[in-house]
Chain A
């Protein structure tokens, strides 16, 4: 059974343009599978549909057509089962900013049914594993750097032992050192846990280093999904970036959340 099975997934939004409402296609018949334990990176520009795909798989968005399954569970019908298996790190390390890392992780763990006794022992361990200094664990999140916050976001996701980890531009906006640390930890998780990873990113090097296969998403369509080497061969490109440009005719710029489509 594949970890993720997406077949003909479509999603449209309606956007206001002045007085008119315009239909925007966020996902246009996307199909792919991800094997258990595999890491698949999805490359795409802003508005390509990356975050929409992640939000459908996170059960936060209802798709219009096609189907999406996580370990055999339909994301629409078996919502609760899917939620037990999935966790996520997004571009914004979203927390209650006045609460500390300890407090944010503690209540979040409770939402997954983890007992206070388990969490008390596990939170310091997991914070140490992501390289978060123990002395800052009681400080409000708003006093932490962006890199530190993102480490806590990784800890929050891994605390619940997800079998599918959705990483939506987890290193965008981080300084080079923090980016390397987060990438190293994601690699470590892959080596030591039974975790399947879907990584949406702008960062070609990140995709090359972390992913077994790389997908190119453009205008809601998945143009290609293969190993980095196979993609370069297919497009006669020397680098993954050139392959992306050949496939889409665009340059992959570095930016934040691409999921700004919304129904009016």
Chain B
């Protein structure tokens, strides 16, 4: 095996190590996982009930379609939240457990480390959101007779690249600012929630918010996935959502890696890359 092949193989093993570690954590914190899932289901039910509530108070709307639209919003938001949480909390968690020094002095390349966390986030997020979608759809008896789920999955996969890139940017925050970092991550996440049309169409927002929405990958993911699941639109029909996701993904990962590298350098210069404070 050539040295280059050996190095690549070593990094591939290291990437799987990141996935393996997070899998162990999910297994060992099984009851927490169950509790979080129950909370997410309850939260999503509450959101989807809004459609029923509007109808009950005399509002004119297609309840079935509106409930399905809200469900898609809640599910995609949950998926995005999981990816952010995995990327941000893992760094914060490692500080708390004290393992951060051992992880950061290991020879796994930082992009591999972060992509490993992103890979786990996507796999785990898909499982959790699929379960969430199934449970809530079953609860409300929602049917999706025209849905093109394959196209929806492609959109979600492409959007995931951008989500992971943005997650990398927020992941450095707890390292640079141990006290305020995680909170700043929540602000970034909250901004995406407001502007991306998770529960309402983007065009009901003021113009300046709509402008911000154009650079949020969640905007295109939600619009495209609603079209594929509710109207059965194929990939060709959602090209208008797909190409911005491709562009954003191409930018988000290098940007995420660059920001993380700059943050890590700062942390190493100022002695913040350690287990406490």
Contacts and interface: CB of A to CB of B under 8 A. Distances in A.
Given A98-B25, A99-B24, A262 B271 contact: yes
A96 B21 CA distance: 9
Interface string B91-117: 000000111011111111100000000
A80 B270 CA distance: 20
A54 to B, nearest CB: 10
A83 B99 contact: no
B65 interface: no
Contacts of A95: 97-99
B176 to A, nearest CB: 11
Interface in A43-73: 52, 55, 58-62
B275 A94 contact: yes
Contact of B272 (A52, A86, A103, A262): A262
Contacts of B106: 83, 108, 111-112
Contacts of A113: 9-11, 13-14, 107
A96 B101 contact: no
Interface in B240-274: 265, 268-274
Nearest to A107: B21
A97 interface: yes
A115 B13 contact: yes
Nearest to A99: B24
Contact of A103 (B24, B107, B274): B24
B107 A61 contact: no
Given A60-B105, A111-B17, A112-B106, A96 B271 contact: no
Given A60-B105, A80-B107, A107 B24 contact: yes
Given A99-B24, A110-B13, A110-B16, A263 B108 contact: no
A60 B28 contact: no
Contacts of A96: 21, 24-25, 28, 97, 99
Residue among B101, B103, B272, B275 with max Cβ neighbours from chain A (10 Å): B101
Contact of B105 (A14, A58, A107): A58
**Chain A contact residues (Cβ within 8 angstroms of B): what range?**
35 or more
Interface string A119-139: 000000000000000000000
Interface residues of B, number: 36
Given A83-B105, A111-B14, A113-B9, A94 B97 contact: yes
A80 B17 CA distance: 17
Contact of B102 (A52, A55, A88, A110): A88
A98 B102 CA distance: 17
A92 interface: yes
A99 B25 contact: yes
Contacts of B97: 94-97
Contacts of B105: 58-60, 83, 86, 88
A185 interface: no
Interface in B1-50: 9-11, 13-14, 16-18, 20-21, 24-25, 28-29
A86 B25 CA distance: 26
B28 A98 contact: yes
Interface string A176-210: 00000000000000000000000000000000000
A222 to B, nearest CB: 20
B89 to A, nearest CB: 13
Interface in A245-264: 259, 261-263
Q: Which of B13, B272, B277 has the most CB of A within 10 A?
A: B13
Contacts of A110: 13-14, 16-18, 20-21
User: Which of B98, B270, B271 has the largest count of A CB atoms less than 10 A from its CB?
Assistant: B271
Interface of B: 9-11, 13-14, 16-18, 20-21, 24-25, 28-29, 97-99, 101-109, 265, 268-275, 277
28 contacts: A55-B274, A58-B105, A60-B105, A60-B274, A62-B265, A83-B105, A84-B107, A88-B101, A90-B101, A92-B275, A94-B102, A95-B97, A96-B25, A96-B28, A97-B97, A98-B25, A99-B24, A103-B24, A107-B18, A107-B21, A110-B13, A110-B14, A112-B10, A112-B14, A113-B11, A113-B13, A115-B13, A259-B274
- Give the 3 A-B residue pairs with the shortest CB-CB distance, closest first: A110-B17, A113-B10, A94-B98
